Structure 1
Amino acid sequence: MPLHTADLEAQIPQLRRYARALTGDTWAADDLVQDTLERACDRWQLWKAGSDLRAWLFTLMHNLFVDGVRRAVRQAGQRVDIDDVAQELSAPGGMPDQALDLQRCLLRLPEEQREVLLLVALQDLSYQEVATITGTPIGTVMSRLSRARARLRELMEGATTPAPAAAVVPLVRMK
Structure 2
Amino acid sequence: MERPRSAALPQAVRDHLGRQLQAAYAGLITTPPPQRLLDLIAQLDGILAGEDSLSAAGFRQSLIEMLPGLRAFAISLTANETRADDLVQETLLKAWAKQEQFVPGTNLKAWLCTILRNQLYTEIRKRKREVEDADGAMAAQMTAPAAQEHGSDLRTVWQHIGRLPALQREALLLVGAQGLTYEAAAEVMGCEVGTVKSRVSRARALLADRLGMVSERALA
Q: Pick the TM interval, shorter chain.
A: 0.7 to 0.9
Give, in whole Å, the separation in 2 of the partners of 1:135 and 1:122: 19
Query: 1:155 corresponds to which residue?
Result: 210
The one-letter code matched in structure 2 to 1:10 is E
| Contact persistence 1:22–1:118 (CA under 8 A) | no
Q: 1:112 and 1:5, CA in 2 relative to 1: closer, same or farther beyond 3 A?
A: same
Counterparts of residues 66-81 of structure 1 (less than 5 Å): 66-72=121-127, 74=128
Give, in whole Å, the separation in 2 of the partners of 1:36 and 1:87: 25
| Contact persistence 1:40–1:57 (CA under 8 A) | yes
Give, in whole Å, the separation in 1 of the partners of 2:114 and 2:166: 15
| Contact persistence 2:139–2:160 (CA under 8 A) | no
| Contact persistence 2:157–2:211 (CA under 8 A) | yes
1:80 shift after superposition:
7.8
Confirm or deny that 1:128 pairs with 2:179.
Answer: no
Query: 2:8 corresponds to which residue?
Result: none
Query: 1:44 corresponds to which residue?
Result: 99
Q: 1:81 and 1:109, CA in 2 relative to 1: closer, same or farther beyond 3 A?
A: closer
Confirm or deny that 1:111 pairs with 2:166.
Answer: yes
1:141 shift after superposition:
0.4
Superposition RMSD on alpha carbons, in Å?
3.1
Counterparts of residues 79-118 of structure 1 (less than 5 Å): 82=135, 88=140, 97-118=152-173
Q: 1:87 and 1:121, CA in 2 relative to 1: closer, same or farther beyond 3 A?
A: closer
1:97 shift after superposition:
1.1
Query: 1:26 corresponds to which residue?
Result: 81
Query: 1:55 corresponds to which residue?
Result: 110
Aligned residues: 151
Q: Deviations over 1:25-61 (max 9, x none)?
A: 2212211111110110122222123322111111111
SS at match of 2:106: coil
* Identical counterparts, % of pairs: 34
Note the residue ranges of structure 2 that are not aligned, 5 or more in a row.
1-54, 142-150, 214-220
| Contact persistence 1:116–1:141 (CA under 8 A) | yes
Give, in whole Å, the separation in 1 of the partners of 2:113 and 2:155: 24
Confirm or deny that 1:145 pairs with 2:200.
Answer: yes
Give, in whole Å, the separation in 2 of the partners of 1:86 and 1:29: 14
Q: 1:87 and 1:59, CA in 2 relative to 1: closer, same or farther beyond 3 A?
A: closer
Query: 2:47 corresponds to which residue?
Result: none
Structure with bigger RCO (C-alpha 8 Å, 6+ apart): 2
Query: 2:72 corresponds to which residue?
Result: 17
TM-score (norm 1): 0.73
SS at match of 1:115: helix
